[in-house]
Amino acid sequence: KSGALVPLTRLARSKDQRVQRNATGALLNMTHRPELRLMLIEAGSVAVLVDLVVSLDEETQYYAITALSNIAVDDNGRNVLWDTQEELVDMLIKALHRPLKIKIQSQIVLTLRNLACDSRYQVQIVEKGGLDALLPLLQSSYTILITSTCACLRNLSIDSRNEAPIICSGFLPELVDLIPQADEPDLQCHAISTVRNMAANTGQDKQAFVDSGLFDRLKIALTDSRTHPKVLCELAAALSVFALNDQLWRPIVELGFCKLLVQLTRCRDMEAEYNA
């Protein structure tokens, strides 16, 4: 297996577009298992994949970005990327500013999401202008792109230093408006969790959360019979965080959430019941 990686890596640098595309696709196939990803790293393939992030051939570009996304899934891969590919985040963000197919845009965002599992990347992505590139995607008409963007924001919001930039960039109203979308439970979970992460951070004024209509949207989702149990779980977990904040507990009481939470304690989903 490892013997194929060196020639594949060399072929991925080929000037023949078809050869390069097929070699990059083969390298992508080698990133689906942890032990193969390690071999790929040891063969020096990562630098080639990073170079191909800006390939003019869309399929080659897609294969390379998806391979990097897979490499960024675990700590070892993220550490290698951090230590050796300092231009990667810049390249990904710049690519998002160009007109690309939806599947490529979505894969770039998912790569940023995987990188943002690491606290170093959470800060770097925001510092390098990642939020400016992500905001238009959150306003896309394509659900897959909105969902991947919310997933990325969910990880970025873990670091307390990112709360103010995310809010100042205009994300909060957009995230709040996504909360009632019962037909897209994954999207709902990412949006709710992102808002919860930001609210959990201390030292920031939370009035913007109240002014955004957050609690009206939460109530809509909580009372919608279509809401998925995993979303109910996220809703209850978010409310438990909001209830601890001096500015956010009052809407929970005044808007009748306590009664809804009591009802949720009889939910068939054990985790949602526990969180309530």
User: What pLDDT, on a 0 to 100 scale, did the predictor assign at position 4?
Assistant: 78
Please name the residues in contact with 37: beta carbons below 8 A apart, sequence gap of 6 or more: 30, 31, 70, 71, 74, 76, 77
User: What pLDDT, on a 0 to 100 scale, did the predictor assign at position 258?
Assistant: 84
CB atoms within 10 A of CB 154: 21
User: What are the structure tokens assigned to 221, written together?
Assistant: 């989702």
Which of the residues in the chain have pLDDT under 70? Answer: 1-2, 202-203, 274-276
User: What pLDDT, on a 0 to 100 scale, did the predictor assign at position 203?
Assistant: 67
User: What pLDDT, on a 0 to 100 scale, did the predictor assign at position 186?
Assistant: 96
d(CA 175, CA 177): 5
Please name the residues in contact with 48: beta carbons below 8 A apart, sequence gap of 6 or more: 9, 12, 13, 27
User: What pLDDT, on a 0 to 100 scale, did the predictor assign at position 204?
Assistant: 73
User: What pLDDT, on a 0 to 100 scale, did the predictor assign at position 230?
Assistant: 92
User: What are the structure tokens assigned to 124, written together?
Assistant: 């770097």
Q: Is the pTM of this model over 0.85?
A: yes
CB distance 60 to 52 below 8 Å: yes
